[in-house]
Amino acid sequence: MNEKKQIDLENKTILVTGSPGFIGANLVMRLLHVMDSGSVISFDNMNAYYDPALKEYRLSKIEEEAATVANQAARDGTSCPKHVFIQGDLSDRAAVDKAFAQWQPDIVINLAAQAGVRYSIDHPQTYIQSNIMGFMNVLEACRNHPVEHLVYASSSSVYGNNNATPFSTEDKTDTPVSLYAATKKSNELLAYSYAKLYNIPCTGLRFFTVYGPAGRPDMFYYSATEKLLRGDSIKLFNYGNCARDFTYVDDIVEGILRIMQGAPKQEDGLDGLPIAPFALYNIGAGAPVDLMGFVQILQEELVGAELLPADYDFQAHQELVPMQPGDVAVTYADTKALEADFGYAPSTGLREGLRRFVAWYKEWQYHFR
């Protein structure tokens, strides 16, 4: 059990970068729901890595939630949190500094990044700009405008081709197999140095394949759904011999919500200098599912939701192909530390999670497109 300083959310200003991205939007909506006061600031450049209409849609959902909460508070005569959206780029140092100077956040959740393993093969500079330069600007801003806790997204990809399962934060992670993974590992190292030098409480979160409603179109469950609906074939990499620790987005949000309120303790060592207030956690389901099993459930849910007919020939729409550069065969989270320190482990089953994704997709498909 690592010692934590408990942070109360009352009257706090929380800056969430990467909202209205997938995880960020879900986190912000949850924060607006659970907080009684204070401010939630979203910061995102709304880039077009995938359809920005989806980011606009998530932003509209955040604004709906903020309005609902405000109306309820007005009826009850109580206070409520407010939401502010800033469109800005993390690699723009002045824009980041301005947001910190204006809002003086107590807690920062850095989720903004160029995500995706495959895209990093052809677009390496984007990763350096957003994930390295951008993250440096966040660290510098936290140094210049002290925060109670900086929480940032790392990734299960830092484990590379780790052979020991489940993946523990004690395992070695110095052989990334993609540039994306290398930038996420770099974030952990940069954060450690700032925690040590400037006594900034920092927690890195290694997320494992996050899925759910209004998710990312570049991820397998989403692109496979689109392909099957169009009548195209889906590619099963490594001839289908892959397993992923699929984690439902609400479970990720619950993990972030708990962890952000427990900052690593600040204390000095025998040399009179700070012991780095630094922690790392895996947030994953802890139950890897093989790709063929995953596809089977997705297909059943697409038929169940009447998006595809019961006699759809799935076999004819599958292509077994070799492993792609940058990919790993297995991911599997060890969540013992999360359970020990925060009494929490993800619990949403894959079928339930995919059912919610498919239900959302159906609505998105027919009402928003």
Ligand X SMILES: NC(=O)c1ccc[n+]([C@@H]2O[C@H](COP(=O)([O-])OP(=O)(O)OC[C@H]3O[C@@H](n4cnc5c(N)ncnc54)[C@H](O)[C@@H]3O)[C@@H](O)[C@H]2O)c1
Contact residues for ligand X, defined by CB under 6 A: 18, 20-24, 44-47, 55, 89-91, 111-115, 130, 134, 153, 155, 207, 209-210, 216
Pairing outcome for strands 39-44 and 13-17: parallel
Tell me the residue type at 244.
R
Give 65 or 89: the residue with its C-beta nearer to ligand X: 89
CB 118 within 8 A of CB 324: yes
> In this chain, which residue has its C-beta nearest to ligand X?
21
CA dist 168 and 157 (Å) reads 13
C-beta of 210: minimal distance to ligand X in Å?
4
Token digits of residue 7: 């942070």
C-beta of 312: minimal distance to ligand X in Å?
27
Token digits of residue 33: 């729901």
Among 330, 333, 287, 328, CA closest to 170? 333
C-beta of 191: minimal distance to ligand X in Å?
13
Residue with tokens 């932003």: 59
Number of neighbours of residue 248 by Cβ within 10 angstroms: 23
Give 22 or 342: the residue with its C-beta nearer to ligand X: 22
CA dist 107 and 147 (Å) reads 6
CA dist 127 and 134 (Å) reads 9
C-beta of 21: minimal distance to ligand X in Å?
2
C-beta of 129: minimal distance to ligand X in Å?
6
Give 213 or 308: the residue with its C-beta nearer to ligand X: 213
Give 109 or 308: the residue with its C-beta nearer to ligand X: 109
CA dist 50 and 219 (Å) reads 10
C-beta of 108: minimal distance to ligand X in Å?
13
CA dist 111 and 259 (Å) reads 14
Give 70 or 337: the residue with its C-beta nearer to ligand X: 337
Among 178, 190, 168, CA closest to 333? 168
Token digits of residue 198: 């400037």
Give 81 or 88: the residue with its C-beta nearer to ligand X: 88
Cis geometry, peptide bond prior to residue 166 (ω within 30 degrees of 0):
yes
Give 92 or 148: the residue with its C-beta nearer to ligand X: 92
Burial (0-12, 13-18, 19+ Cβ within 10 Å), 207: buried
Pairing outcome for strands 289-290 and 243-244: antiparallel
Which positions are annotated as active-site residues? 180
DSSP 279-326: EEEEES-S--EEHHHHHHHHHHHHHHTTSS-TT--SGGGEEE-PPPTT
C-beta of 52: minimal distance to ligand X in Å?
8
